[in-house]
Amino acid sequence: MIKVIASGWYCSLQDEGRFGYRNCGVPVSGAMDQAAFQLANKLLGNEMGAIALEITAKGPVLEFTEAAVVAISGADFSPKIDGRELGMNVVFAVSEGSTMTFDSPSEGIRAYLAIKGGFVTEPVLGSGSYYRGITAQWQLHKGDTLRFNKNSENEVELNSIEPSLKSVLDNEQIEVFEGPEFGLLSSPFQHKLLNTLCSVNSQSNRMAYLLDHTETLSAKQIVTAPVQPGTVQLTPGGRLIVLMRDAQTTGGYARIFQLTEDAINRMSQKRAGEEIKFKRVDLPFDTHV
Amino acid sequence: MKNYPTYRMFGEHTILLDWPSSNELDVHKEVLRFARFISETFGDEIIETVPTYQSLAVYLKPEINTRLFMDTLLGRKISVSEIASEMPQLVTIPVCYEPDYGIDILEVAAAKQRAVSEVIKLHTDPIYKVFFLGFLPGFPYLDGLNSKLSTPRRNSPRPQVEKGSVGIGGSQTGIYTIDSPGGWNIIGRTPLNFFDSTQLPPTQVNAGDYIKFQAITPTEYDLICVEVDAGTFEWRKEAYHD
């Protein structure tokens, strides 16, 4: 078991997501940065979708009441065990009674603490991902306990992967496909959208990233239609909204772009004030019929 | 050949079908027919579909070649048109319209210069069509509000609207299925769980169904609450020919 001594800013258990209920209005949820989440599980030899702890902006303080084998990927929060630096993207053994602490990352904003065997939580509609209104709990609180599977042997197979995060974090370009309403915009306007430098607003969260910019942008509302994680909406008032993993399933604003899977992961590591620019890429086999 | 949708990719693993906007109700029937056909025929290839008024999102498994799948769908046009619509159901929703539950009903009645009883009658008379679920888990997009009840959203949204609240926002009416911030005028509350994540499926009312509101007293509200909590409440549903 792991005891939560301090909750950090926003920690939640996440997996690949909750699929099969979007027609009931249930968001997908799941780890914001799926690449970092998968990496941490892969290092441990876990199943692809094993539940991990998503840590945001400020790390928690965790006390291990039993031994565990863990790996941490994503933004570098300088994780420590009893004051000793652990390093990122490495498998390490944590002994019973030790305490894990984190600093704040200098780049990126989300990290994934994966544990050998995976965390255990009551699955709701087929997923362990926290979501307010669907799961009883939606973020960690001081005093909570986290359980994990222990049936797998706690052997350390010193896996490690060279961190490739640097290039991911440095890049201000967010790759997008055209969204369903992109073609309705005039070509000078399309050009402007692709050359607008935007900065991440501090109100951004797991549901959506809001982008600030100084251009005059606008798009008419649409008849409510499907949206998904990575959909970029433009409001009549000029607000740019990038829907993220906890996004609603339908929306009424123009869908001008759709982020690539990779770009959603990259976006989820952006912090308030960081600048981004959209870069259009072609769909692998684009066609209109 | 009327009412055929256009197909396009919406990201790497999604196909979006869009119908031209003509008769809203006819188009929506087609959307649901396609949703049912695709779900029943391609269970191995798709994760799920999401219907709305005149669009259908088809979410594919990541290992499926989206382009090839789209060609397959196009080749199956005819079979889609042969599929029958699903028989919709009419679901009765008990609602307590007393001001303790419908905290804005007095305000709405005053703004409409109508007696509260008239507001209740205007709200309980129609049969509402459920176009689709979205916005919140289980939240039904309803059609059929009497225009005499249209009321602008409140100037400032409430930080928390209680689950089960029945509201009017502009020309729409709906039910807050979970506790949520919201700007609609609350005219009543239902004791029913519109979204229950412990049940499969988690919703009792689905796209294409119809609902009717039925006014109940606070005593009846409490009795239904007891049954809902005990798991003995039975939803009133009947077949409905549209």
Q: Which of A165, A191, A224 is the endpoint of a domain?
A: A165
Q: Does the beta-carbon distance from B12 to A224 stay under 8 Å?
A: no
Query: For the residues A233-246, what does the mean pLDDT come to?
Result: 95
Is residue B146 assigned to a domain? yes
Which chain B residue's Cα is nearest to A261?
Answer: B12
Q: Which of B82, B99, B120 is the endpoint of a domain?
A: B82
Of the candidates B94, B113, B167, which has an alpha carbon nearest to the alpha carbon of residue B135?
A: B167
Q: Are both B75 and B95 inside the same structural domain?
A: no
Q: Which of A165, A183, A203 is the endpoint of a domain?
A: A165
**Which residue segment(s) compose the domain that B187 sits in?**
89-239
Query: For the residues A39-63, what does the mean pLDDT come to?
Result: 95
Q: Are both B110 and B68 inside the same structural domain?
A: no
Q: Are both A257 and A184 inside the same structural domain?
A: yes
* A138 vs B: CB within 8 A: no
Q: How many domains does chain B have?
A: 2
**Which residue segment(s) compose the domain that A71 sits in?**
2-165
* A137 vs B: CB within 8 A: no
Q: Are both B135 and B71 inside the same structural domain?
A: no
What pLDDT shows up at residue B75? 82
Q: Are both B73 and B100 inside the same structural domain?
A: no
> What dihedral do alpha carbons A274, A280, A281, A286 form, nearest 10°?
140
* B135 vs A: CB within 8 A: yes
Q: Are both B140 and B26 inside the same structural domain?
A: no
Q: Are both A148 and A187 inside the same structural domain?
A: no
Confidence of residue B74 (pLDDT cuts 50, 70, 90): confident
Is residue B197 assigned to a domain? yes
Q: Are both A146 and A198 inside the same structural domain?
A: no
What percentage of residues in chain B have a pLDDT greater than 70? 95
Is residue A91 assigned to a domain? yes
| Residue B51 belongs to domain with CATH number | 3.30.1360.40
Q: Are both A115 and A235 inside the same structural domain?
A: no
CA distance B4 to chain A (A): 11
Q: Are both A45 and A156 inside the same structural domain?
A: yes
What pLDDT shows up at residue A151? 62
What pLDDT shows up at residue B85? 66
Is residue A285 assigned to a domain? no
Cβ–Cβ < 8 Å for A253, A241: yes
Owner of token pair 């982008």:
A211
What pLDDT shows up at residue A288? 46
Residue B1 has pLDDT above 60, yes or no: no
d(CA A177, CA A269): 20
What percentage of residues in chain A have a pLDDT greater than 90? 83
* B17 vs A: CB within 8 A: no
What pLDDT shows up at residue A165? 52
Q: Are both A149 and A193 inside the same structural domain?
A: no
Confidence of residue B87 (pLDDT cuts 50, 70, 90): confident
Cβ–Cβ < 8 Å for B126, B145: yes
Q: Does the beta-carbon distance from B207 to A23 stay under 8 Å?
A: yes
Task: With both helix axes pointing from N to C terminus, report the angle between B105-112 and B116-124 in degrees, rounded to the nearest 10.
Answer: 100
What pLDDT shows up at residue B3? 72
Residue B88 has pLDDT above 60, yes or no: yes
Q: Which residues of A62-85 are buried (b: 16+ CB within 10 A; e: fewer)?
A: bebeeebbbbbbbbbbebbbeeee
d(CA A135, CA B151): 33
d(CA B103, CA A216): 40
Is residue A287 assigned to a domain? no
Q: Which of A120, A140, A165 is the endpoint of a domain?
A: A165
Q: Tell me the residues of chain A between 29 and 88 that have a Cβ less than 8 Å away from chain B.
A: none
d(CA B210, CA B225): 23
Cβ–Cβ < 8 Å for B194, B179: no
Q: Are both B230 and B176 inside the same structural domain?
A: yes
pLDDT in tens, B158-196: 989 999 999 999 989 999 999 988 889 999 999 999 999
Q: Which of B21, B55, B82 is the endpoint of a domain?
A: B82
Chain B residues with beta carbon closer than 8 angstroms to that of A21:
48, 137, 201-202
Between the alpha carbon of residue A188 and those of residues A183, A192, A232, the distances in Å are 12, 6, 19
Query: For the residues A208-220, what does the mean pLDDT come to?
Result: 92
What pLDDT shows up at residue B241? 83
Mutation site, B21, B52, B61, interface A, largest A CB count within 10 A: B52
Mutation site, A16, A21, A22, A23, interface B, largest B CB count within 10 A: A23
Q: Does the beta-carbon distance from B21 to A223 stay under 8 Å?
A: yes
Q: Are both A251 and A117 inside the same structural domain?
A: no
Is residue B186 assigned to a domain? yes
What pLDDT shows up at residue A181? 97
Q: Are both A148 and A180 inside the same structural domain?
A: no
- Which positions ≥6 away from B71 have C-beta within 8 Å? none
pLDDT in tens, A101-115: 999 999 999 999 999
Per DSSP, B106 falls in state: H
Is residue A288 assigned to a domain? no
Is residue A262 assigned to a domain? yes
Contacts 24+ apart (CB under 8 A), B43-47: B45/B69, B47/A19, B47/A20
Per DSSP, A184 falls in state: G
Q: Are both A135 and A24 inside the same structural domain?
A: yes
Q: Are both B62 and B130 inside the same structural domain?
A: no
The count of other CB atoms within 10 Å of the CB of residue B162 is: 15
Q: What average pLDDT does chain A have? A: 91
Confidence of residue A155 (pLDDT cuts 50, 70, 90): low
d(CA A71, CA A154): 13
What pLDDT shows up at residue A289? 44
pTM > 0.95: yes or no: no
CA distance A227 to chain B (A): 8
Residue A226 has pLDDT above 90, yes or no: yes
Q: Are both A30 and A159 inside the same structural domain?
A: yes
Q: Kindly report the backbone phi and psi dihedral angles of residue A237, in degrees, each rounded to the nearest multiple of 5, phi listed first.
A: -80, 0
Residue A268 has pLDDT above 70, yes or no: yes
d(CA B105, CA B208): 28
SS3 A199: strand
Is residue B143 assigned to a domain? yes
Query: For the residues B24-49, what does the mean pLDDT come to?
Result: 91
Residue B2 has pLDDT above 90, yes or no: no
pLDDT in tens, A79-95: 999 999 999 999 999 99
Q: Are both B196 and B95 inside the same structural domain?
A: yes
Is residue B1 assigned to a domain? no
Any bridge partners for residue B18, and if so which?
Answer: B6, B55
**A6: its two tokens:** 């301090």
Q: Which of B82, B100, B123 is the endpoint of a domain?
A: B82
CA distance B10 to chain A (A): 6
- A131 or B135, greater pLDDT: A131
ipTM for the predicted complex comes to 0.93
Cβ–Cβ < 8 Å for A227, B114: no
Q: Which of A258, A259, A289 sits opposite B74 (nearest CB)?
A: A289
| Residue A262 belongs to domain with CATH number | 2.40.100.10
Residue A51 has pLDDT above 50, yes or no: yes
Q: How many domains does chain A have?
A: 2
Is residue A219 assigned to a domain? yes
Between the alpha carbon of residue A281 and those of residues B11, B117, B197, the distances in Å are 11, 58, 38
Q: Are both B67 and B122 inside the same structural domain?
A: no
Q: Are both A112 and A220 inside the same structural domain?
A: no
Is residue A64 assigned to a domain? yes
Q: Are both B171 and B97 inside the same structural domain?
A: yes
Chain A residues with beta carbon closer than 8 angstroms to that of B159:
none
Is residue A194 assigned to a domain? yes
pLDDT in tens, B93-115: 999 999 999 999 999 999 999 99
Q: Are both A74 and A196 inside the same structural domain?
A: no
**A251: its two tokens:** 């929306």
Cβ–Cβ < 8 Å for A207, A229: no
Q: Tell me the residues of chain A between 207 and 226 that have a Cβ less than 8 Å away from chain B.
A: 223-226
Is residue B131 assigned to a domain? yes
Q: Are both B115 and B131 inside the same structural domain?
A: yes
Q: Are both B102 and B209 inside the same structural domain?
A: yes
